Amino acid sequence: MNSSQHEHSDTRCAVVTGASSGIGEATVRALRTQGWTVYAVARRAERLEQLAEQTGAIALAADVSNQEHVDALRDKVQNVDTLINCAGGARGVDYLGEAKDADWEFMYQVNVMGTMRLTRALLPQLRQVPGTVLNVTSTAALASYEGGSGYNAAKAAQRAMTSALRLEEVGHGLRVIEVLPGLVATEEFALRRLGSADAAEQVYAGVSQPLTAEDVAEVIRYAVSLPHHINLDEIVMRPQAQAANHKLIRE
């Protein structure tokens, strides 16, 4: 793709997963504001339909951890030049000694296997453009912490896969970008991980300005909108109050 195509965003077309909430939803809104055609992908059809009505995105209800869903999705999308894998999530804060198989299976399916399945399915399309793959991982991939072993492992695996993909596809002209957010306050991430609203609130307690889903979406929008010869390999982003995974100022 030449740079002139990047200047006219109405020629750009993205698939965004995890689009029913959080970073995925915010990314759909950011790209639509810029004039992109956007396929919004998530499991919850009702929320996708609302997003489609509000933004003009194309709703595609699918579970990226289900191969049949991915195959059907691949056959529906057309002229895609960008894949943004936002679907992911954490379950539980158990220490490894008390690890629950179901939690680990969930985290590997949505963060690792789902990203692999959809990327594998769309690579033939993306190679023709050539296109862009952007994976949202986490600073949890960079530094482990107590109670995070399952999420650390899943995000580290997703990061390793992203790095390998960049090496494998550079000859096909593909651009592969990784965005690694730190503390992001979204409506569902901590709630789903911890299971209670009170516990979720404690994650962000006293932090004056955690990142928002919109903050991350703006970085994603910028990275994929740059001329194609510019590859922002890895973008680590945190709130100013978080100097490292373990260094977080609470007031």
The number of residues in the chain equals: 251
| Residue 72: strand, helix, or coil | helix
6: pLDDT strictly greater than 50: no
The torsion angles phi and psi of 179, rounded to 5 degrees, stand at: -110, 125
3: pLDDT strictly greater than 50: no
List, for residues 58-99, the tens digit of each pLDDT value: 999 999 999 999 999 999 999 999 999 999 999 999 999 999
Instruction: Output the CA–CA distances (angstroms, integers) from residue 20 to 28, 59, 101, 222, in the order listed.
Output: 9, 10, 26, 21
Mean pLDDT, range 202-218, rounded to an integer: 91
Question: Percent of the chain beyond pLDDT 70?
Answer: 95
51: pLDDT strictly greater than 80: yes
Identify the pLDDT of residue 208: 86
Task: Look up 108 and say whether it is catalytic.
Answer: no
pTM of the model: 0.93
Q: Which listed residue (39, 95, 145, 151) is catalytic?
A: 151
Identify the pLDDT of residue 196: 72
**Least-confidence region, from 141-145, 155-159, 181-185, 188-192:** 188-192
216: pLDDT strictly greater than 50: yes
Greater pLDDT, 169 or 208: 169
**Least-confidence region, from 86-100, 104-118, 121-135, 179-193:** 179-193
d(CA 121, CA 119): 5
Mean pLDDT, range 194-204, rounded to an integer: 78
Q: Whose CA is closest to 81, among 141, 8, 161?
A: 8
Identify the pLDDT of residue 205: 83
Q: Average per-residue pLDDT in the chain?
A: 93
Q: What are the start-end ranges of the H helices in 179-248?
A: 189-194, 197-204, 213-225
Confidence label for 187 from pLDDT (cuts 50, 70 and 90): confident
Identify the pLDDT of residue 9: 66
121: pLDDT strictly greater than 60: yes
Domain 3-248 grouped into CATH 3.40.50.720: yes
